[in-house]
A and B are shown apart, each in its own frame.
Chain A
């Protein structure tokens, strides 16, 4: 009995030592465990591989999932990777689950858009662009949902607060980073009647 156990133990230790693990499955495991986006740097540390290789492996894994029409998919959000259910299952899952994504009023989204593209920005500056008042209630909704944060104070008279978007904002819209915000098209000249 004892001998047998020892043999098994040795085998385990050997297996760990020889690191004969498929890094792709390690990545899959980590993505399964984590609830927040996992940075490529962290994956590279876990797998002991350079970041560039990790990125390739993630891409392979993503394709694997896609090819076998898996129930989950890998998303690149907030400078990291995160698992979610597959897009095509969305309409079906909606019957049983809620995404818990709060919807906002048109005005609030407009304010959020201005903050996203112009950050950091003060309330007065948002008002100037909108040509309308921005109440603290509007900003409070966004602050409470953690979509924006106070990023400091502007060094002008009155030291007004500066607002910027958060990581939660990227998660909310499923964005990789701020650069992947939809680019605002160059202004087209409108036709004259």
Chain B
């Protein structure tokens, strides 16, 4: 008997392939004819190979499992064992297939739900400008902070004249500045506000280094608003 399995069905895993073979062959899932399915399974793998498709190791493992089950089924039951029921060597495989079948069946049901609910139109959810609710603030990584910093620096124009001056800012000074800002604003300041008075790249860099220092110390955390992308610095209490 020939089984034509469409080429577009490139199976993601051996269970999916086995399941399709069971369905296509109208086999009883509780009493899988192991010889037949093994034969078809291997035939399919050979077919894949013949059209130059690489076969994943999990498919090979399944082929071995099938053959192992098949060989076990061939061993005659011992007469002495008749009282005890011998465990079906196919059990594990059948359980897996049943579990897989459940979700295979659930997909079209969910798809149906989605289609019916796609017929309904809901009021546009406006993300209110005043919606600065606490739940929208999420903690972010230093990479996000660096990104924000890169954006900030790109705004500052580099002067074409170079003047050499003594360093007017130090990291320690800026740490004090940030701490004072946090104190003034109930422990929460916005990232942009820290730099609003900075006119030179140097000052921005120093302030940023100070901020990194505070993050390293663990005395502040950095959060970003999930809707508006604003970054704020929150003092750890």
Contacts and interface: CB of A to CB of B under 8 A. Distances in A.
B106 A174 contact: no
A182 B106 contact: yes
Interface in A75-97: 75, 82-85, 87, 90-91, 93, 97
A123 to B, nearest CB: 14
Given A84-B122, A173-B113, A174-B120, A113 B15 contact: no
Contact of B26 (A85, A91, A191): A191
Nearest to A109: B107
B98 interface: yes
A4 to B, nearest CB: 37
Given A106-B107, A192-B26, A192-B31, A187 B121 contact: no
Interface in B78-133: 96, 98-107, 109-114, 116-126
Nearest to B29: A190
A83 B105 contact: no
B118 A99 contact: yes
B135 interface: no
B25 interface: yes
A175 B120 CA distance: 13
A184 B12 CA distance: 23
A113 B110 contact: yes
A193 interface: yes
A189 interface: yes
Nearest to B121: A85
Nearest to A107: B12
Chain A's interface size range is: 35 or more
A114 interface: yes
A101 B118 contact: yes
B101 A187 contact: yes
Q: Dominant SS at the B interface?
A: helix
A65 interface: no
B214 interface: no
A190 B100 CA distance: 15
Nearest to B14: A131
A181 B102 CA distance: 13
Nearest to A103: B114
Contact of B110 (A93, A132, A173): A173
Nearest to B23: A190
Contacts, number: 123
A35 B27 contact: no
Contacts of A85: 120-122
B103 A129 contact: yes
A131 B114 contact: no
A73 B104 CA distance: 32
Contacts of B23: 190
Contacts of A174: 113-114, 116-117, 120
A56 B62 CA distance: 56
Contact of B103 (A35, A114, A133): A114
A33 to B, nearest CB: 9
B37 interface: no
Given A130-B12, A182-B109, A173 B117 contact: yes
B16 interface: yes
A112 interface: yes
29 contacts: A35-B126, A84-B121, A85-B122, A93-B121, A107-B12, A109-B107, A109-B110, A113-B107, A117-B102, A129-B103, A130-B16, A130-B100, A131-B15, A131-B100, A132-B11, A132-B13, A172-B114, A172-B117, A173-B117, A174-B113, A174-B116, A184-B105, A189-B28, A189-B30, A190-B27, A190-B28, A191-B28, A192-B27, A192-B28
Given A130-B103, A182-B109, A184-B106, 13 more contacts: A84-B121, A90-B121, A91-B119, A109-B111, A110-B104, A116-B110, A131-B16, A132-B12, A132-B13, A132-B58, A133-B12, A181-B110, A192-B28
Interface of B: 11-16, 22-23, 25-31, 58, 96, 98-107, 109-114, 116-126
| 5 nearest A-B pairs in the assembled complex, by CB-CB distance | A132-B13, A131-B15, A90-B119, A174-B117, A182-B109
